[in-house]
A and B are shown apart, each in its own frame.
Chain A
Amino acid sequence: MTSAASPPEVLRAPLVVEFPFTRSLGPVQSAFLTGLRERVVLGVRTSDGKVMVPPVEYDPVTAEEIRDLVEVGTTGTVTTWAWNGSPRPSQPLATSFAWVLVRLDGADTAILHALDAPGPEAVRTGMRVRVRWAEERTGAITDIACFEPHDGPASEGAAPHDGRFAGAVTGIVAAARLDYTYSPGRSQTAYINALAERRTVGERCPSCHKVYVPPRGACPTCGVATTDHVEVGPAGTVTTYCIVNIKAKNLDIEVPYVYAHIALDGADLALHGRIGGIPYDQVRMGLRVEPVWTEGGRHPDHYRPTGEPDADYDAYKELI
């Protein structure tokens, strides 16, 4: 890895990625998750008579479609386990617990879930457990709050079930949130820091001498690091543009507005920016513009006309 001098201060910022994927369920998954809501555990029987819990819609061995639902017990046997001494956010229990694979009575395969137990000494492979239902159930795997130790008798084997319930669950929302601390690296840190001083700094390729703005640290033509810093602009030329008629969420800009590619003077790549200070229908290719910073802003808020004559097409045609 490079040992080249790094900037003493690398920018960092929180980055939160959240996605509530909405997923539809097939008939078997729908019956299984609806069943959990009704405190019923369903499995599916394969053509060779094995009962799979949780159920799948295609046999993993033959790829045959399987739809033969059966009800299995809510008690079962631990087939393997692992003691989770420090639960992570979003896991089923907030206090120490065991991850377990449980083969429910009547099933031939095991389901993964949490086991509420006082400590690792209380858990062993082969121990008997039962489902602890969540108080509020919606048709999701979390309708099983966890498993708990169980001393009672085993349930009966698998019994046929038609899989029909009133108000079947047909989809789930798979919510997820991941937290990152994003660092943009050497090149983009230098660019962003310069912008905060109201300067636009690109990087020149040592091989082809093109100046990239914003720089990403590499020349995509030569595949080498761009290390020479070059101040460009502040003025530039509109090379192309579009008129935006869709109001963006959380963006306090009236539509229509113009979004443009702007080739800053001295740069060999156009960057993006909003054009202001001129009616949207008067923006044109070749228009000369300059950045407008707002108080405390770390980057230009928009670009406005400089009042200079338009640039010749030949002066910017390579940058469109």
Chain B
Amino acid sequence: MPTTSRYARDVAVVAFAQSDHRRRSDELSEVEMVMPVLHQVLDRTGLKAGEIGFTCSGSSDYLAGRAFSFTMTLDGVGAWPPISESHVEMDGAWALYEAWVKIQTGEADTALVYSYGKSSPGSVRDVLTRQLDPYYLAPLWPDSVALAALQAQALIDAGETDEAGLAAIGARSRAAAGANPHAQLRGDAVAPGDYQVRPLRTGDCPPIGDGAAAVVLAAGDTARRLCARPAWITGIDHRIEAHGLGLRDLTDSPSTRIAAEHAGVFDAPVDTAELHAPFSSQEVVLRKALRLDGEGVAVNPSGGALAANPMMAAGLIRIGEAAARIHRGESDRAVAHATSGPCLQQNLVAVLEGEPA
């Protein structure tokens, strides 16, 4: 178990699986896309669907263009006879948080968390405008790239980065993704490209794609039984910024910093950071908030969201990738971050630790 525990129960990520993330997946319905991932993550633990204590998912009706779209994927988890189940209309990282709380209450010992998004049926830049304030922002249809570009310019004006610095983040991410068979953009051949919304170029923006991910959480001895080296969640917290973009200092992320403090990120060094930064400029903000400029930290060794950004799953994937490195013995203490909303509106931070070998 973790040496210091700030919570009632010790909970670990014991398995992680994800789909290959692709630009389109027309031949698959959502449940057809999710089901193989669910089977993989259950197979890794040897658990059967009926043995899971709690199931929680993350997705968005606006991506599907359909109300209650998440209910369709419940067929893939074997929801009959009735199971204990919940859903968040957010990234699956927040579904994981809900599942973690459920286990903390003692009402479950294991949880299946999954999330998915198909961006291909619609225009995701326009779709995401519908999550903005409906009075002052949504009627102007400022798309997700435009809002990220405002943040990028603010960083450039503040002297915290420049266009070459941003391009290097994109290039490093895609090069790292060369070792990630699931990533959508892999290898270092992605050029900075043209401006999408200046100062952001194609290479600063995430690929648009479809994909799914799942993790299994377990408490205490159950985690130890299901996994040779559980990734213990020694801290987890999430915070939100003020709603109005014009109220915020876009060059900083106080919500990430506070979440990190509460999760204990700064109590000891980390060796891995999986950051959910869909835009290169957001990595600059997150590195500052999480104090990641030291040596010896692998930042987004998976390639991060610049290599694959399935909406509603990319944040859960950060937790999964960090946990998988602990499972494989490649990390002892990792920080995982997930975001939701424009310009790093909401931020979740988790610390994952493996026991000494």
Contact = CB atoms under 8 A, between A and B. Distances in A.
Interface in B110-166: 121-123, 125-127, 130, 134-143, 146-147, 149-154, 157
Interface string A1-16: 1100011001010010
Contact of B137 (A12, A112, A224): A112
Interface in A153-186: 172, 174, 176, 178-186
Measured as residues with beta carbon below 8 angstroms from the partner, the interface class of chain B is 35 or more
Interface string B1-45: 000000000000000000110100111111111011011000000
Interface in A176-234: 176, 178-189, 216-225
Given A83-B195, A99-B197, A223 B65 contact: no
Contacts of A109: 244, 246-247
Given A1-B25, A56-B243, A80-B157, A225 B122 contact: no
A260 to B, nearest CB: 23
A186 B29 contact: yes
A96 B138 CA distance: 19
A205 B72 CA distance: 17
Contacts of A6: 27
A174 B134 contact: yes
B264 interface: no
A111 B244 CA distance: 8
Given A1-B36, A188-B29, A81 B78 contact: no
B213 to A, nearest CB: 12
A174 B26 CA distance: 31
A318 B285 CA distance: 58
B208 to A, nearest CB: 14
A141 B136 contact: yes
A185 B244 contact: no
A233 to B, nearest CB: 22
Given A82-B150, A82-B152, A176 B29 contact: no
Interface string A267-304: 00000000000000000000000000000000000000
Interface string B161-181: 000000000000000000000
A80 B250 contact: yes
Given A84-B146, A99-B142, A225-B35, A54 B19 contact: no
Interface string B54-79: 00000000100100000010111111
B123 A179 contact: yes
A218 B75 contact: yes
A95 to B, nearest CB: 15
A217 B147 CA distance: 38
B153 A60 contact: no
Contacts of B139: 140-142, 172, 174
B253 to A, nearest CB: 15
Contact of A112 (B32, B65, B126, B140): B140
Interface of A: 1-2, 6-7, 10, 12, 15, 17, 21, 23, 25, 29, 33, 52-54, 56, 60-61, 79-85, 88-92, 99, 101, 103, 109-114, 120, 125, 140-142, 172, 174, 176, 178-189, 216-225
10 contacts: A2-B36, A15-B65, A84-B197, A88-B125, A99-B142, A113-B140, A125-B153, A176-B138, A185-B32, A222-B49
The 3 lowest CB-CB distance pairs between A and B, nearest first, are A185-B29, A223-B78, A110-B246
